[in-house]
Structure 1
Amino acid sequence: MTRPHAGELLRTVLSNCSARLLAMLGLTLATVLVARTGGPAAVGEYALLRMLPGLIGVLCVLGLPGALAYFLAEHRRDLPRLWPTLMAIGFAGGFVGTALWLAASPLIAKVFFPHESPWLIAAAGGTVATQLMLTVGKTALQGLEDRRGGDVVIAAEELAFLPCFVLPLVVGVHGLAAIIIGLALADVVVAIDAWRRVSRRLGWRRFGLAGHGQGWWGRPERSLGREVASYGLRGQVGGLITLLNLRLDVAILGAIAGPAILGGYAVASKYAELLRLPGTALTWVFYPRLAKLDENQAGTVARRMIRPALLGIIVAAIPVALLASPILRLLYGASFAPAVTPARVLVAGMVLAGASGVASAYLYGRGTPGLNSVVLGIGLVITVVLDVTLIPSHGALGAAFASTAAYLSTDALLIVLLLRLSSSAPRHRTAVAVSEGSS
């Protein structure tokens, strides 16, 4: 198979970055509205409800979102009973995740939402399934290489919350209830569109009407399910660790310092994560493409992208850091001024994110997600140790320093791993397979 044209790849990455920037704009506008109507405490609760249900959901689907692009590559997507197997995993995970949230809701309310009704926190469990439905639909589009559809869903995922949050406010529902309703409605609306695009990409016959295990519905294949779960769980570890590295500081800070301080830190974190968008876009675009190439071609393409991805983020970090103060004060008001310094610290932690995004795409595309997970696990250890050490005495700034150390460490290790493996891919093929099988 021939390698993708460089110009076409660049356009695809830029398109995905644009979609993610629109999503970030939607998130920013929503956060501003939440901040203006409820203050820093409401922003903290919003951040927790965006993170915790999704975390439980991805834990319960055996790594399905991370496995989809691999199993939906052109030479794998017509495996017998593939779709019934994938759907069975998704529905079972959504049911289990919702049940776990309901069972744990008294503890969740006590730790993270001490001033809210436990029944309201229990109701937020519905977003476990809605977030999962959206996430699986979005990653299915990635695997099917519907780049336009995937970009639309990425942007809509955040933009949809704003009108869905305004709707309960208009009818007189405020506070945390309005946030929960807005999140659930936005998930459902965008998920329906995502799955509509998936079915059109496959052909409308796939909307549950095809026989012989080729439609969405039918009897799942147990052995295929084990194969999907084996790949997915190895990647799931890395995906979960990435999520924890990005959000564990939020959870620990929220539990220790409370929603008000967390609200300011959540704003700082989202601002700094602007610099992670290109790396995420590179992973999104390159993962399914590299899965179609042979090992030498994949290594060549990935190595070629390292330098421009690295230099681009370093250059972009300078104005992002300098503009932190005026932008955060303008958007969120004077009460969010303490978020400026943590934002600048977090910006420093993002400078390697572009190159590490290429590295993660290479490892996933070559069928070795466990190696990615091992490296990210090192970063998680750094995050936990530094969070519990620094947050009690330094609050939000301690959380920022902990996350920055974890980001830089894991990103640097991923880049080194890419350079070493791709420079001697044939010689290491057997060793990588053995290592991956034991991870």
Structure 2
Amino acid sequence: MIRSVLSNCSARLLAVLGLTLATVLVARTGGPSAVGEYALLRMLPGLVGVLCVLGLPGALAYFLAVPRRDLPRLWPTLMAIGAGGAAVGTALWIAASPLLAKVFFPHEPVWLIAAAGATVASQLLLTLGKTSLQGLEDRRGGDVVIAAEELAFLPCFVLPLVVGIHGIGAIVLGLGLADLVVAVDAWRRVSRRLGWRRFGLAGGDLGWWGRPDKALARRVSSYGLRGQVGGLITLLNLRLDVAILGAIAGPAVLGGYAVASKYAELLRLPGTALTWVFYPRLTKLDQHHAAGLARRLIRPTLAGVVLAAIPIALLAGPVMRLLYGSSFGSAVQPARVLVAGMVLAGASGVASAYLYGRGSPGLNSIVLGAGLVITVVLDVTLIPHYGAMGAAVASTVTYLSTDALLIGLLLRLSAPAARRRPAVAVGEGTP
């Protein structure tokens, strides 16, 4: 299991390297404003897509675990939810493009922002393929897709630059092409993992398409929606500061802050990797063994992330100026503040995996909901007066608060006395 976590962390580090190189290229060709637009276009379409598929990415690992993966008409049901969500999400993006252009992209034409709606479906296709590999426990395939997800953008962004397309148009094309290339490989791996030929297009019991099961769709959506609340809140806690800062201060200030945020999120990689690896494994374990394993991981993950935070904070200044240039010097102090907010992320990743694995994603959502309240209050209070530094302080307080609550919830629910009580929390129906 440790090897699996390290392998996943390595894949995520490669993804960060790809993202860093892409951000450097965007910064060198378009400056801080282009970096801000790039950050928004990587975040907003994916958010719309996940909202429209009723939490399907979070539910996949649970329903693809043995023995649920053998449910009749499971794949046609999952694909129907995904295809319907992609269509709805794209339509919503196009309809909202005038508002999106006015708030987030004031210097770009509306038609180009509407065209970016195509990345709603492409990001969703990639996300579902990646989380399917997680549920099928194809750890090697999942790690490859995680790394390729960011690495693929660099050549796909260079391609439109070579043919004379620049600015936000090159970013949109690069994102869409990268999504499609990596998504095709992800679904090829899923098909091979399932033993399906012809890319899973045979239908019936040997493919993804067929007649969906309405009752099963309700079960998947029930679990997914309870988990999606937490996933959405996590995304908002990580990215709401970006959206508010972009709307208030503009793309140039946002570009520097986006660089600082991504730099600090290096410390979140171990926790994300732990959630990715342990969620499907804990799903298959009984309560006693799952709780014992989760509790044993708390101390080493806490210590490891705290030790890693020291050099990352010290190197923030040299790294920012070397990679992005002197115009990004203002990102150094926000980056150091954000690093302090990540020190509990490793242990909270274990806590999230435990809650999802025991069939209680709603508890995770409740904790993260409390953090969202803190995020909103602090963002609207601090960002108008302090800009990027205010956003960094608000995010740091939120991260520490929610991570501490998740760790406390894990310790309470995994205690021997708690394990003797029913595993399903109040309000959590059987999926």
TM over 0.5: yes
- Residues 127-164 of structure 1, C-alpha deviations (whole Å, 9 max, x = no match): 00000000000000000000000000000000000000
Give, in whole Å, the separation in 2 of the partners of 1:406 and 1:429.
31
Residues 17-56 of structure 1 aligned to structure 2 (within 5 Å): 17-56=9-48
Q: Check whether the contact 1:83–1:214 (CA below 8 A) recurs between aligned residues.
A: no
Check if 1:429 corresponds to 2:426.
no
Deviation at 1:249, TM superposition (A): 0.2
The equivalent of 2:356 in structure 1 is 364
Residues 411-430 of structure 1 aligned to structure 2 (within 5 Å): 411-423=403-415, 424-429=417-422
After superposing the two structures, state which structure 1 stretch, 418-427 or 75-84, moved more. Answer: 418-427
Check if 1:208 corresponds to 2:196.
no
The equivalent of 1:249 in structure 2 is 241
- Residues 210-258 of structure 1, C-alpha deviations (whole Å, 9 max, x = no match): 53x5531100000000000000000000000000000000000000000
The equivalent of 1:331 in structure 2 is 323
Aligned length: 429
Residue in structure 1 matching 2:343, options 315, 334, 351: 351
Give, in whole Å, the separation in 1 of the partners of 2:169 and 2:370.
38
Q: Check whether the contact 2:196–2:206 (CA below 8 A) recurs between aligned residues.
A: no
Deviation at 1:204, TM superposition (A): 1.9
Report SS of the residue matched to 1:291. Answer: helix
Give, in whole Å, the separation in 1 of the partners of 2:119 and 2:363.
31
Report SS of the residue matched to 1:188. Answer: helix
Deviation at 1:434, TM superposition (A): 2.6
The equivalent of 1:4 in structure 2 is none
Give, in whole Å, the separation in 2 of the partners of 1:158 and 1:349.
24
Residue in structure 1 matching 2:130, options 131, 134, 138: 138
Report SS of the residue matched to 1:433. Answer: coil
The equivalent of 1:147 in structure 2 is 139
The equivalent of 2:99 in structure 1 is 107
The equivalent of 1:6 in structure 2 is none
- Residues 53-94 of structure 1, C-alpha deviations (whole Å, 9 max, x = no match): 000000000000000000000211010000000000000000
- Residues 394-431 of structure 1, C-alpha deviations (whole Å, 9 max, x = no match): 0000000000000000000000000000113433326x
Check if 1:317 corresponds to 2:305.
no
Give, in whole Å, the separation in 2 of the partners of 1:428 and 1:406.
31
Check if 1:116 corresponds to 2:121.
no
The equivalent of 1:240 in structure 2 is 232
Residue in structure 2 matching 1:378, options 370, 383, 392: 370
Check if 1:388 corresponds to 2:380.
yes
Give, in whole Å, the separation in 2 of the partners of 1:14 and 1:136.
23
Which runs of 5 or more residues in structure 1 are unaligned? 1-8
Structure-2 change in CA distance of 1:214 and 1:438 (3 Å) = closer
Q: Check whether the contact 1:382–1:406 (CA below 8 A) recurs between aligned residues.
A: yes
Which runs of 5 or more residues in structure 2 are unaligned? none
Report SS of the residue matched to 2:422. Answer: helix
The equivalent of 1:187 in structure 2 is 179
Report SS of the residue matched to 2:398. Answer: helix
Deviation at 1:438, TM superposition (A): 11
Give, in whole Å, the separation in 1 of the partners of 2:430 and 2:39.
36
The equivalent of 1:89 in structure 2 is 81
Give, in whole Å, the separation in 2 of the partners of 1:366 and 1:93.
27
The equivalent of 2:49 in structure 1 is 57
- Residues 259-306 of structure 1, C-alpha deviations (whole Å, 9 max, x = no match): 000000000000000000000000000000000000111000100101
Q: Check whether the contact 2:49–2:120 (CA below 8 A) recurs between aligned residues.
A: yes
Check if 1:69 corresponds to 2:64.
no
Report SS of the residue matched to 1:272. Answer: helix
- Residues 182-210 of structure 1, C-alpha deviations (whole Å, 9 max, x = no match): 00000000000000000000012471325
Deviation at 1:436, TM superposition (A): 2.0
Give, in whole Å, the separation in 1 of the partners of 2:119 and 2:292.
41
Check if 1:258 corresponds to 2:250.
yes
Q: Structure 2 counterpart of 1:259, which letter?
A: P
The equivalent of 2:296 in structure 1 is 304
Instruction: Output the TM-score relative to the length of structure 2.
Output: 0.98
Q: Check whether the contact 1:295–1:425 (CA below 8 A) recurs between aligned residues.
A: no
The equivalent of 2:275 in structure 1 is 283
The equivalent of 1:227 in structure 2 is 219
Deviation at 1:383, TM superposition (A): 0.4
Q: Check whether the contact 1:421–1:428 (CA below 8 A) recurs between aligned residues.
A: no
Q: Check whether the contact 2:363–2:425 (CA below 8 A) recurs between aligned residues.
A: no
Q: Check whether the contact 1:246–1:403 (CA below 8 A) recurs between aligned residues.
A: yes
Q: Structure 2 counterpart of 1:314, which letter?
A: V
Percent of pairs with identical residues: 81
The equivalent of 1:167 in structure 2 is 159
Structure-2 change in CA distance of 1:438 and 1:110 (3 Å) = farther
Give, in whole Å, the separation in 2 of the partners of 1:429 and 1:290.
17
Deviation at 1:308, TM superposition (A): 0.4
The equivalent of 1:267 in structure 2 is 259
Instruction: Output the TM-score relative to the length of structure 1.
Output: 0.96
